[in-house]
């Protein structure tokens, strides 16, 4: 198989992947082994029946659990799920291990049509505890759609008091989750350490995380739970590439008013750490690159553990991102673009781009671009927010702010008393360098609407999320990628 792009070194394994070829398509492609057993499953409309043997696409099983039971533990067997199938109240429980890094157990699709749809509360899970193996290793899952239909306000079965559900993956190693979609859960996907063992070497590639929402305890049912598009805790060598995160942590449907409102606790991504490398919650060796994160309840990403944050696009979040509030490694924040951060509501003003954090391991913010704050809060695009653990160096190099300055006219919003603790070189605010001298930019007005016009598309954020929400299985238009968007901004927001 083609090993995951950007795969980090795992503390538990010492594994380092080889670099991808220059012509890499961006997809992780598993390859069957000589002794792979292929099992097929489909809904009734696709010919599925549990009286079938499941060994060919003409004789698929009907229930996913029955088909999964035919896979052998410790072998590179494949479960093929028929496209256009709908499995209501069936979760996808992965109960098998693969053989090794290049011989995973694979859950994939066959036939033509849309991603198989799991209309369920549990979504993607791995079994643990109760005498079953403490970890699930060497697994590749791709091409599935998971929807908590009872929490979809537009579904006839909608129940405002339905439990949050969501995908829950406990201790595991060497997992790839690719081209899947998660929607309407309280937490669309949770990956966290269990049984005293870290997760390690997890790659999430080109997945969609959409419309999660929680509760504040008001209204029918009275439950209180927070909501994240993706929550990771106790994961080493975590790599998230070219995923799409939209509108997680809140829901403005009339029936949920006062219950699932935008708030400060819920985010598109929450990568946990409480401050030490041995902390049970710490994520380590984190790489976040090429993702699009928009319209979160609060943060586009809370990257508490730090790590690499590179070439991502953030739009319409209350706070685009921060890196390293409880760091376990250096913050390397390079070439990200943030646009149009907003307020949570009229009483919770935000409009922050990057929430700067000191980091005892070091912090380097370079080449990031912040344009067009959409907030009543006079806060700079890069805002220093001290924490109890604030210490260490911060380097700010060649970052650009346009129409996103604080009350003093600077997008580097750092209190005067600590400004000397930040090394600043070549940063630009609204056509002036950091010493107040005028500079000329190639095209300092560039924004998302300009980019969409340049590729012949209608303006507005709805065009961007419309493509990604409607993207067909295995389709990928580079024009709608974070990399292409970031490159367009960089070409304009630079010195002439």
**129-138, 143-152, 317-326: the lowest-pLDDT one:** 129-138
* Pairing verdict, β 136-142 and 172-178: parallel
* Size of the chain in residues: 496
Both tokens of 403, joined, read 């129409």
Rounded Cα–Cα distance for residues 393 and 362 (Å): 5
CB 290 within 8 A of CB 346: no
Asked whether the predicted pLDDT for residue 376 surpasses 50, the reply is: yes
Rounded Cα–Cα distance for residues 2 and 34 (Å): 17
CB 104 within 8 A of CB 112: no
Handedness of CA 446, 451, 454, 456 (dihedral sign): negative
Task: Quote the pLDDT of residue 252.
Answer: 94
Rounded Cα–Cα distance for residues 243 and 271 (Å): 15
Q: Provide the CA 475 distance to its chain's centre, in angstroms.
A: 18
Which of 188-202, 252-266, 448-462 tops mean pLDDT?
Answer: 448-462
For residues 234-261, average pLDDT:
94
Both tokens of 288, joined, read 């976040």
Asked whether the predicted pLDDT for residue 8 surpasses 70, the reply is: no
- By C-alpha distance, which of 436, 389, 390 is closest to 412? 436
Rounded Cα–Cα distance for residues 48 and 61 (Å): 5
CB atoms within 10 A of CB 225: 14
In this predicted model, what pLDDT tens digit does every residue of 275-295 receive, in sequence order? Answer: 654 566 789 899 999 999 999
In this predicted model, what pLDDT tens digit does every residue of 309-322 receive, in sequence order? Answer: 999 999 999 999 99
Rounded Cα–Cα distance for residues 313 and 461 (Å): 12
Asked whether the predicted pLDDT for residue 338 surpasses 80, the reply is: yes
CB 322 within 8 A of CB 355: yes
Task: Quote the pLDDT of residue 267.
Answer: 97
Both tokens of 207, joined, read 């997945």
Task: Quote the pLDDT of residue 216.
Answer: 74
- By C-alpha distance, which of 491, 484, 489 is closest to 26? 484
């Amino acid at each position: 198989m083609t090993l995951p792009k950007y795969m980090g070194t795992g503390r538990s394994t010492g594994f380092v992947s080889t670099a991808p070829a220059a012509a890499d398509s961006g997809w992780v492609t598993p390859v069957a082994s000589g002794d792979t057993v292929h099992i097929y499953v489909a809904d009734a409309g696709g010919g599925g029946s549990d009286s079938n043997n499941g060994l060919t696409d003409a004789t698929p099983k009907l229930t996913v659990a029955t088909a999964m039971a035919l896979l052998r533990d410790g072998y590179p067997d494949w479960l093929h799920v028929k496209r256009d199938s709908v499995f209501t109240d069936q979760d996808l429980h992965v109960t098998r291990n693969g053989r090794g890094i290049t011989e995973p157990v694979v859950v994939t699709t066959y036939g033509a049509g849309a991603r198989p749809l799991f209309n369920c509360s549990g979504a993607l899970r791995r079994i643990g505890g109760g005498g079953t193996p403490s970890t699930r290793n060497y697994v590749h899952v791709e091409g599935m759609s998971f929807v908590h239909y009872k929490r979809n306000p537009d579904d006839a079965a909608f129940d405002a008091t339905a439990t949050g559900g969501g995908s829950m993956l406990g201790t595991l190693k060497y997992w790839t989750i690719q081209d899947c979609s998660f929607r309407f859960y309280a937490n669309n996907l949770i990956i966290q350490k269990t049984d005293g063992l870290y997760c390690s070497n997890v790659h999430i590639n080109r997945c969609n995380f959409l419309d999660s929402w929680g509760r504040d305890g008001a209204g029918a049912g009275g439950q209180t739970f927070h909501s994240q598009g993706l929550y990771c805790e106790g994961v080493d060598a975590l790599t998230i590439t070219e995923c799409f995160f939209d509108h997680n942590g809140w829901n403005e449907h009339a029936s949920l008013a006062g219950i699932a409102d935008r708030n400060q606790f819920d985010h598109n991504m929450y990568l946990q750490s409480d401050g030490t490398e041995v902390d049970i919650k710490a994520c380590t060796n984190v790489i976040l690159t090429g993702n699009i994160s928009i319209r979160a309840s609060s943060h586009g990403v809370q990257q508490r553990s730090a790590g690499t944050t590179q070439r991502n696009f953030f739009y319409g979040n209350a706070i685009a991102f921060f890196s390293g509030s409880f760091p376990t490694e250096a913050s390397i924040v390079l070439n990200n673009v943030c646009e149009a951060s907003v307020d949570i509501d009229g009483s919770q003003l935000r409009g922050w781009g990057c929430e700067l954090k000191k980091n005892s391991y070091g912090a380097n913010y370079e080449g990031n671009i912040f344009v067009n704050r959409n907030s009543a809060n006079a806060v700079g695009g890069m805002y220093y927010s001290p924490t109890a653990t604030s210490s260490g160096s911060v380097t700010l190099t060649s970052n650009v702010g346009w129409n996103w300055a604080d009350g003093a006219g600077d997008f580097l919003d750092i209190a005067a008393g600590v400004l000397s603790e930040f090394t600043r070189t070549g940063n630009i605010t609204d056509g002036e360098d950091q010493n107040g001298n005028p500079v000329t930019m190639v095209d300092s007005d560039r924004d998302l609407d300009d980019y969409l016009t340049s590729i012949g598309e209608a303006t507005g954020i709805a065009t961007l999320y419309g493509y990604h929400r409607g993207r067909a299985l295995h389709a990928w238009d580079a024009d709608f990628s974070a990399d292409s968007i970031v490159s367009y901004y960089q070409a304009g927001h630079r010195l002439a």
